[in-house]
C-alpha cells in the first residue's frame, strides 16, 4: 500500500524539529549568516533536545531514526537555516560509512562519544583535484604493521575545523583506480592540520575547511569495510545521504515559497495586492508544485532505504530535482519581492545564496544526471545489494 500518512510519533518529531527551527535557528539565521558565525551554541542545544545524530543506532544510545524521519527533521531545520542545518546534520554523512562497514567495537567507541557529547565528525572525500571524479584522489594510506599511515589533503570539508573524528578516503593501491581506495575512521590528533576556512557565498554559518593528514597513524581496526572497497562504500554512503540533502533543499524552497506568498498578499501595486495578478499567481503555483514534488521524491528515496532496497536512481532523482527546484523557487521568491528581494534586510536573498550549494555538494546536479542516465540505460539494481 502506498501511504504518506505520518505516524503520531513522526508528527511529534516534526513538531519538535519545527519548533526548534523556529525558535533557535530562524530567529538568528541572518545574524549568523552575516559574519559566518559558527553555531556551536545551537549545536549544543540541538544535541540536548535530541536533534543531532538521528541515525546513531539505538544499541549505542542513539535515536536510531529511519531515513524518512531524518528527512522530515532535515526539511524543518533547513526551513530555519540550511547552513546551520548542514552543521547539525554533517555527522550523519560521516557516520553512514561507519554504520555500513565499521566493526561493532569501533561503532561502539564512535557512536558512544557522539551520543554522550555534542562532538562532530566530518566526511573527507573531496580533494582539490578530485571532486566529481572521486577515484582520482591522491591521499595515500600505506600499511605499516598493524597501522595505516595517511598523507594528503581534503578540501571543502564540512565542520572540518571543529570535528573530533574524520571519515577519510585514501588510496591503498594507487594503481588500481576506484578499486584501490579504502575508508578509515580517524580520530583527530596533532598530525592533522586544519586550515583555509572558506568564505562562502551561502550557508555561511556552516564551517568548510581544508583538512591535511601528515603521517597520521591509524590503527588497522579503524579501516571501515574491506581494504580497497572504499569507492563502493562512498557511493553507498551517498545513496543514503542524498535524500537528506534533498530534504534540506525542500526546506529552503518551502521557506522561499512561504515568504513569497506572504509578501504577495501584502505588497500592493496597481491598486491590488500583487497576489491578485495572474503573473504572480502562476509563479506561486509553480513554486508550490516544486516544493510538493521535491518532498514526494525525497520521501520515496528515503522509504526505499528503510525497506532495505537500493535507491541509487531515486536518491539522485530526489537530490537533483529538489536542489534545482530550491534554486528556482528561491530565485522566483526574489523576483516576487522585486527590488526588495535584492536587499539583505529581506529574507529571500539569503535563501537564493543558500540554495546554490544544494546543486553542488554531495554530487552536483550534473553528477546526479549522470547517475540517473547510467541507471536508466544500464540498470544495476538486480545485481547490487543494498548493504555493504
Ligand atoms: N552503490 C554501489 N556500488 C556503486 C554505486 C552505488 N551507488 N555506484 C557505483 N558503484 C560501483 C560500480 O558498480 C562500479 O563497481 P565495479 O568496481 O564492480 O565495476 C564502481 O562502483 C565504479 O562505478 P563507476 O564506474 O560508476 O564510477 P565512476 O568513477 O564513473 O564515478 C560517479 C561515478 C557517480 C561520478 C561518482 O564518482 C560520484 O558520485 N561522484 C560525485 C562525488 C560526490 O558526490 N562528492 C561529494 C562529496 S561529499 C560532500 O559534498 C561534502 C560535504 O561535506 C557536504
For the purposes of burial, counting CB atoms within 10 Å of the CB of 272, is it exposed (0-12), middle (13-18) or buried (19 or more)? exposed
Answer yes or no: is the C-beta of 165 below 6 A from any ligand 1 atom.
Answer: no
| CATH assignment at residue 100 | 1.10.540.10
Instruction: Mark which of 76, 100, 116 sits at the end of a domain.
Output: 116
State residue 1's pLDDT score: 59
Boundary (domain end) residue, out of 116, 139, 162: 116
Q: Where residue 244 sits, what CATH number does that domain have?
A: 1.20.140.10
- Are 252 and 322 part of one and the same domain? yes
pLDDT value at position 382? 46
- Indicate whether 198 belongs to any domain: yes
Could you tell me if 238 and 369 lie in one domain?
A: yes
CA of 157 to the centre of ligand 1 (A): 18
Catalytic site includes residue 362: yes
Contact criterion met (CB below 8 Å) for 23 and 51: no
Cell numbers found for residue 385: 545489494
| Distance of CA 184 from the midpoint of ligand 1 (Å) | 17
Ligand 1 near 178 CB (within 6 A): yes
The whole-model pTM stands at: 0.97
Which residues, 6+ apart, have CB-to-CB distance to 382 below 8 Å? none
Same domain, 186 and 168: yes
Cα–Cα dist 331/353, whole Å? 9
Q: Which of 365, 380, 245 is closest to 312 using CA atoms?
A: 380
- Tally of structural domains, the chain: 3
The per-residue pLDDT for 381 is 60
Clarify whether residues 309 and 321 are in a common domain.
yes
- Residue 298 belongs to what domain range? 231-377
- Digit-by-digit pLDDT tens for the chain (388 residues) are 578 899 999 999 999 999 999 999 999 999 999 999 999 999 999 999 999 999 999 999 999 999 999 999 999 999 999 999 999 999 999 999 999 999 999 999 999 999 999 999 999 999 999 999 999 999 999 999 999 999 999 999 999 999 999 999 999 999 999 999 999 999 999 999 999 889 999 999 999 999 999 999 999 999 999 999 999 999 999 999 999 999 999 999 999 999 999 999 999 999 999 999 999 999 999 999 999 999 999 999 999 999 999 999 999 999 999 999 999 999 999 999 999 999 999 999 999 999 999 999 999 999 999 999 999 998 766 445 555 4
User: For ligand 1, is residue 169 a contact (CB within 6 Å)?
Assistant: no
Q: Is the CB of 209 under 6 A from ligand 1?
A: no
Instruction: Assess if residue 387 is contained within a domain.
Output: no
Q: Rg of the chain's alpha carbons, rounded to an integer?
A: 21
Pick the catalytic residue from 24, 70, 76, 362.
362
Amino acid at each position: 500500500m502506498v501511504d504518506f500518512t505520518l505516524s503520531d510519533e513522526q508528527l511529534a518529531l516534526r513538531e519538535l524539529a519545527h519548533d526548534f527551527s523556529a525558535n533557535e535557528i530562524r530567529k538568528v539565521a541572518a545574524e549568523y549568516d552575516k559574519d559566518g558565525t559558527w553555531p556551536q551554541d545551537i549545536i549544543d542545544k540541538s544535541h540536548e533536545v535530541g536533534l543531532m545524530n538521528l541515525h546513531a543506532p539505538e544499541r549505542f544510545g542513539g535515536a536510531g531514526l529511519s531515513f524518512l524521519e531524518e528527512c522530515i527533521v532535515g526539511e524543518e531545520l533547513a526551513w530555519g537555516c540550511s547552513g546551520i542545518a548542514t552543521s547539525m546534520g554533517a555527522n550523519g554523512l560521516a557516520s553512514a560509512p561507519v554504520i555500513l562497514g565499521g566493526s561493532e567495537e569501533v561503532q561502539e567507541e564512535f557512536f558512544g562519544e557522539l551520543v554522550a557529547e555534542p562532538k562532530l565528525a566530518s566526511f573527507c572525500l573531496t580533494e582539490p583535484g578530485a571532486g566529481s571524479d572521486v577515484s582520482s584522489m591522491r591521499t595515500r594510506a600505506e600499511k605499516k604493521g598493524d597501522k595505516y599511515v595517511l598523507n594528503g589533503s581534503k578540501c571543502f570539508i564540512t565542520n572540518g575545523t571543529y570535528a573530533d573524528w574524520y571519515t577519510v578516503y585514501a588510496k591503498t593501491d594507487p594503481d588500481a583506480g576506484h578499486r584501490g581506495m579504502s575508508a578509515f575512521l580517524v580520530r583527530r590528533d596533532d598530525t592533522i592540520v586544519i586550515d583555509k576556512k572558506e568564505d562562502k557565498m551561502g550557508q555561511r554559518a556552516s564551517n568548510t575547511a581544508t583538512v591535511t593528514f601528515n603521517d597520521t597513524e591509524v590503527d588497522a581496526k579503524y579501516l571501515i569495510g574491506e581494504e580497497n572497497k572504499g569507492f563502493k562504500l562512498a557511493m553507498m554512503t551517498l545513496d543514503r545521504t542524498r535524500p537528506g540533502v534533498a530534504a534540506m533543499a525542500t526546506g529552503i524552497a518551502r521557506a522561499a515559497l512561504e515568504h513569497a506568498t506572504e509578501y504577495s498578499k501584502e505588497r500592493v501595486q496597481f491598486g491590488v495586492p500583487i497576489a491578485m495578478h495572474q503573473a504572480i499567481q502562476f509563479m506561486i503555483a509553480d513554486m508550490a508544485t516544486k516544493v510538493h514534488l521535491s518532498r514526494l521524491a525525497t520521501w520515496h528515496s528515503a522509504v526505499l532505504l528503510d525497506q532495505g532496497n537500493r535507491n541509487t536512481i531515486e536518491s539522485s532523482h530526489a537530490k537533483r530535482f529538489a536542489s534545482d527546484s530550491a534554486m528556482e523557487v528561491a530565485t522566483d521568491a526574489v523576483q516576487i519581492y522585486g527590488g526588495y528581494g535584492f536587499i539583505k534586510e529581506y529574507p529571500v536573498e539569503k535563501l537564493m545564496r543558500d540554495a546554490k550549494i544544494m546543486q553542488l555538494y554531495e554530487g552536483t546536479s550534473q553528477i546526479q544526471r549522470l547517475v540517473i542516465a547510467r541507471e536508466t540505460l544500464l540498470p544495476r539494481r538486480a545485481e547490487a545489494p543494498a548493504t555493504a
